[in-house]
Structure 1
Amino acid sequence: MPAPSSTHLVIIPSYNPGAQVADTVRAARAEWAPVWVVVDGSNDGSCETLQDLARDDAGLHVIVLPENRGKGAAVLEGIGQARAAGFTHALTMDSDGQHPTDLIADFMAASLARPQAMILGKPVFAADAPALRVNGRKVSNAWANLETLWMGIGDSLYGFRVYPIEPLLRIMHANRWMRRFDFDPEAAVRLCWAGVAPLNRAAPVRYLRREEGGVSHFRYLRDNALLTWMHTRLILGFLLRLPRLLVRKLAG
């Protein structure tokens, strides 16, 4: 097991993740310490599984939320407690086996080399990835790049990334949104506005079939409506910030 870091930790928000969660957490722990899992009101038995793992592993910490609040809210709880414990950066990843745990150390090294930046995973899709998911994200990516004047967000939706905790906390406390599925793209855009540079690194993504234990909470109409409302807010914020963003762009 790796030696514990005093500055960087892994935070895994988890809501009814299915049978993959134990393997995902074990794989993350094999690459990094500490790993914190935020159980977001799960009722599928995964909370008990994670707590059993944590009893025998000092590098694993489980935070349990009493009800489902959404991915962004789970991350906010995790990074708030992490800052109080002295951590400065958090790598976020999903609990369902989609994200590449073998790249955790690589992403953390990139963050240690550029601590003022956010390290964004740019997904590499397998041939069997759902076309709807692969192509649908292009719309969100186009909006995110417009809203930041093409500051370099490689993928707005991929949740495998390293955040500097302090600026992310400031942004989330200043905005009542960013608590559910819309967290990842809004965090990337608002951090760009705050001057946090994005650094992109390729990372494979797996879409597990149901028979492989895959679980998806994506709901096409609900979540696309959420993203539409999010980008509407961001476009309004972009227009208000446009003069400053243009000055920064021209100065760069």
Structure 2
Amino acid sequence: MTNNNSVGFAPCALIPVYNHSLVLEKTCKALLDLNLHVILVDDASDNACKAIMQFIADRYEDVSLITRATNGGKGAAVKSGLRFAQQKGYSHGIQVDADGQHNLADVSEFISAASREPNALILGYPAYDTSVPKHRYYARYLTHIWIWINTLSFSIQDTMCGFRVYPVTASNVLINSSKIGDHMDFDSEFVVRWYWAGLEIVQRETKVIYPADGISHFRLLKDNALISGMHAKLFFGMLWRIPILLGRKIRARFP
């Protein structure tokens, strides 16, 4: 379905999918109940997951299914979804994971925040319950430290949470002008480059759970290597931006 309100606030939901189907229809139904068009991005899932996605798209008029020919990673799927959303005239896309981690009760609040601040990237930062694996909980702090270094700021609370609202046009401009990673490095790198561009960020706390039957596609060696390389790349990008970043901090403190 094409959204004809290309000028005003017109949000949609964006779900990157790679072999996550257990709660996918339930997630889509909850988003549809909020009057959000849902864009499913199939990142070359297996046949069983493809069949479920096709069933959902056939059953619900306000679900669009786009299929990537090869598995490119979470970031590649999000990029494909954002480009599709712009083609269809949507102003904002709320990214929701397919595995049930995100608290859909917060979707309305995030959408409202985007409507109040339409130029801002609305970032979720997680409030974990006891389901979070301890190694993941503590490992996030290493990324936090690198983000603080690469932005010269403590203002960003979390860059790894995928529950967020993208202003579609500005996001595609940034993606098209920067070489942002296609895998698990995408979420953090996108936020840093958004910050570097001087664009607005609004942060909202959200409950995040790790389902007992959840499936993780985090590749321990490959994705850790990609994330480490991403932080190193951003560090060297930060060095020549130091005058710009410090100047921004000074102007904010002494307007």
Normalised-by-shorter TM-score class: over 0.9
Give CA-to-partner distance per residue, 1:188-223, whole Å, 9 cap, x none: 10001111222111111111123xxx1111122222
Partner of 2:62: 59
Structure 2 residue identity aligned to 1:25: C
> Aligned partners of 2:93, 2:240: CA distance in 1, in Å?
30
> Aligned partners of 1:70, 1:172: CA distance in 2, in Å?
15
Partner of 1:232: 232
Q: Is residue 121–residue 200 contact of structure 1 (8 Å, CA) maintained in 2?
A: yes
Partner of 2:217: 217
**How big is the shift at 1:20?**
2.1
> Aligned partners of 1:57, 1:128: CA distance in 2, in Å?
32
**How big is the shift at 1:53?**
1.6
Could you list the structure 1 runs, at least 4 aligned residues long, displaced by more than 6 angstroms after superposition: none
The reply on whether 1:142 has 2:148 as its aligned counterpart is no
Give CA-to-partner distance per residue, 1:36-75, whole Å, 9 cap, x none: 1101000051222122122232211111112111111111
Partner of 2:241: 241
**How big is the shift at 1:27?**
2.1
Partner of 1:98: 101
Partner of 1:173: 176
The reply on whether 1:39 has 2:46 as its aligned counterpart is no
Structure 1 residue identity aligned to 2:179: R
Structure 1 residue identity aligned to 2:54: Q
Partner of 2:82: 79
- Identity among equivalent positions (%) equals 34
Q: CA 1:198–1:151 in 2, change beyond 3 Å: closer, same or farther?
A: farther
Q: Is residue 120–residue 198 contact of structure 1 (8 Å, CA) maintained in 2?
A: yes
The reply on whether 1:118 has 2:124 as its aligned counterpart is no
Q: Is residue 93–residue 159 contact of structure 1 (8 Å, CA) maintained in 2?
A: yes
> Aligned partners of 1:26, 1:49: CA distance in 2, in Å?
14
| TM-score, length of structure 1 as denominator length | 0.92
Note the residue ranges of structure 1 that are not aligned, 5 or more in a row.
none
Q: Is residue 94–residue 166 contact of structure 2 (8 Å, CA) maintained in 1?
A: yes
RMSD after superposition: 1.6
Q: CA 1:8–1:151 in 2, change beyond 3 Å: closer, same or farther?
A: farther
| TM-score, length of structure 2 as denominator length | 0.91
Q: How many aligned residue pairs are there?
A: 246
Q: Is residue 72–residue 179 contact of structure 1 (8 Å, CA) maintained in 2?
A: yes
> Aligned partners of 1:151, 1:63: CA distance in 2, in Å?
37
> Aligned partners of 1:125, 1:61: CA distance in 2, in Å?
31
Give the match's secondary structure for 1:162. Answer: strand
